[in-house]
Structure 1
């Protein structure tokens, strides 16, 4: 009897596990896509692979999220493309939304048929590319028209690498551009070039006279993120931009100074910046940034400024204030 009861208990436990598993699967299936994305942001890529390997049902649910972001090195990309005319040896290419290339190779940058990759019917949902370059971004302009890329993040691996928006003219659908460690070559504003571009991120990028950031598109740029850990953030060119930016529809501006030994002092520039940009909604100042005007403003109204201060209906997020009053 004891053995029979034990077998019966094991059977019940197995049935309960199957029921619980079914409940979990139905739970995940019922979640909106946006909620699943937020949940997956809290776990590592390795955890996602482990969850997807737990059962066929879970793999079916998480397969689109598993292959949405894919990385490949140049050697594998070239090998797979030459053999199978596809970037990686997976069947579900339609699930790939973002491709990240690791490493850089000057020869491959100029010879690889990016035009076929961007507009390939096998990759209909590829809308984001992350790639380090060995030098100038000039090779991009030889991609064919009609690319459906919407997000592009490029990083220079050598000092003195040059970028120009003219290089990205083939990317007709581009909306978000992220540049790191480039010297921005002077180019004129052209509304027909990347006409949907509305978000710009610059990390340790520099530029010289007569170039102005407004040349990226003074009427189409809505969001700018500037992050620096070098001396350009205290240069005259950078301060000239802060003194009087001339964007017509700029809603969000973020400035981060990660250089602990280089203090960016704004004085009254933040107020002028806000006054000269009536469309501005948020201004975020992070890192080693000093502004006496903002410090005086926040000190006078601590209760209402725990998260941000407000000036002319613009929310100002000021990290120096957070550090000073985070215990309040």
Structure 2
């Protein structure tokens, strides 16, 4: 609505004329309105366009870009920045030049989401060609290990990688992501994390989100980078949240720069008790600023807080300058 209102406001202003001291509105032909709208799109600030696009659907953007070649030329930067496709569709339009045949400027793609998985395509598809442009975010499903990423050439612009494992027992190793030297955010779903030593792979990795991911001895989460990880989010819907490996992490994680830690237990039949572990967590991470506990998590101290005991609640939440957000406080 804002987008259309702005367009109409600009178009109407173009049709106002002065006649004998009075302002009158002239009848503007459709072709003139379309031309004025194209001019409006070409002069509007990029930041304002981004705000407007948040208020309209993807379908609206596609239909708007289809109204004329001139409008499409202006909007293609935003139209092709986010692309969603299946393996079947991607392979069907990938031509000999290594770019989607339907896109004249593949460098416009900034975010790509593959909605299906195929083990054969993962190993044979030229990811190096796909990632050598301006692609900064990639989301895909995989039917097995992420080892195929190792064969991607270095130098890509990828900043965010989100991978969903479809097959149980799929293995992840940070060594697989060696080509992604600029990676800043990693999101893994349903992977079994293979043991690897702490190293300089992905030197800019600062945000790590693990959803139903497991690991075995001797691996520790700090191996992702105790001096790199700033934000760590752990979400579980299975029994691993009650495992010895997870408890060992709670007893004393040793991240040196971690500022934000979030733990979510969505398993309704397994209650995660953190009455003692919270203080150990805070004491073992001096840089911690926020701790979020969500879902089926029990803490005796927090559960006993009432509105009449709010002063103690504040002093506890503010211990060592760490803000503790508990699920019982949140909607």
User: Per the shorter chain, which TM-score range?
Assistant: 0.7 to 0.9
Structure 1: gaps spanning 5 or more residues: 1-10, 324-328
Task: State the shift of 1:15 in Å.
Answer: 7.8
Measured after TM superposition, the shift of residue 298 of structure 1 is 6.6
Corresponding position: 1:142 with 2:151: yes
How far is 1:232 from its partner? 0.9
Is residue 224 from structure 1 mapped to residue 232 from structure 2 by the alignment?
A: yes
1:26-65 equivalences under 5 Å are: 30=44, 33=47, 36-37=49-50, 39-53=52-66, 59=72, 62-65=75-78
Equivalent positions of 1:157-196 (< 5 A) are 157-190=166-199, 192-196=200-204
Q: Is structure 2 residue 162 aligned with structure 1 residue 153?
A: yes
Rate the CA distance shift 1:65–1:271 in 2: closer, same or farther, 3 A.
farther
| Alignment partner, residue 7 of structure 1 | none
Please state whether the residue corresponding to 1:141 is helix, strand or coil: helix
Classify 1:101/1:27 alpha carbon distance in 2 versus 1 (closer, same or farther; 3 Å): closer
* Counterpart mapping for 1:1-12 below 5 A: 12=26
Q: Could you tell which deviates more after superposition, 70-79 or 289-298?
A: 289-298
Shift of 1:240: 1.4
Given that residues 172 and 194 in structure 2 are in contact (C-alpha distance below 8 angstroms), is that contact kept between their aligned partners in structure 1?
yes
The Cα of 1:116 is off from its aligned counterpart by 2.2
Kindly tell me: are residues 169 and 266 of structure 1, through their superposed partners in 2, closer, same or farther at Cα, counting changes over 3 Å? same
Report the CA distance between 1:26 and its aligned residue.
Answer: 5.1
CA contact (8 A) 1:199 1:224 kept: yes
1:86 aligns with 99
- The two structures have a TM-score, normalised by structure 2, of 0.81
Q: Deviations over 1:68-100 (max 9, x none)?
A: 110222123223334442135112322210111
> Please, which moves more after superposition, 266-275 or 149-158?
266-275
Say whether the 8 Å CA contact 1:73–1:102 is kept in structure 2. yes
SS in 1 for 2:202: coil
Higher mean Cα deviation, 215-224 or 105-114? 105-114
Stretches of structure 2 that go unaligned for 5 or more consecutive residues are: 1-24
| Contact in 2 for aligned 1:298/1:321 (Cα 8 Å) | no
Deviation of 1:135 (Å): 0.5
Q: Superposition RMSD on alpha carbons, in Å?
A: 3.1
Deviates more, 1:21-30 or 1:180-189: 21-30
Q: How does 1:293-308 map to 2 (within 5 A)?
A: 293-296=301-304, 299=307, 300-301=309-310
Change (3 A) 1:41 1:298: farther
Cα distance in 1, alignment partners of residues 183 and 70 from structure 2: 36
Q: 1:107 aligns with which of 114, 120, 123?
A: 120
Summarize deviations over 1:254-278 as a string: whole Å, max 9, x none.
1111122221111121222112111
- Between the aligned partners of 1:32 and 1:226, the Cα distance in structure 2 is 35
Equivalent in the alignment of 1:245: 253
Contact 2:95 2:101 (C-alpha < 8 Å) held by counterparts:
no
Q: CA deviation at 1:152?
A: 0.8
- Match among 97, 106, 130 for residue 110 of structure 2: 97
Mapping 1:12-23, distance limit 5 Å: 12=26, 14=28
In 2, distance between residues paired with 1:294 and 1:142?
Answer: 49
- Tell me the equivalent position of 2:5: none
The correspondence for 2:82, drawn from 51, 69, 76, is 69
Aligned-partner SS, 2:153: coil
Question: TM-score, normalized by length of structure 1?
Answer: 0.82
Aligned to 2:18: none
Once the two structures are superposed, the pairs formed by residues 192-211 of structure 1 within 5 Å of their partners are 192-211=200-219
1:287 pairs with 262, 275, 295, which one? Answer: 295
Counterpart contact for 1:77–1:88, Cα < 8 Å: no
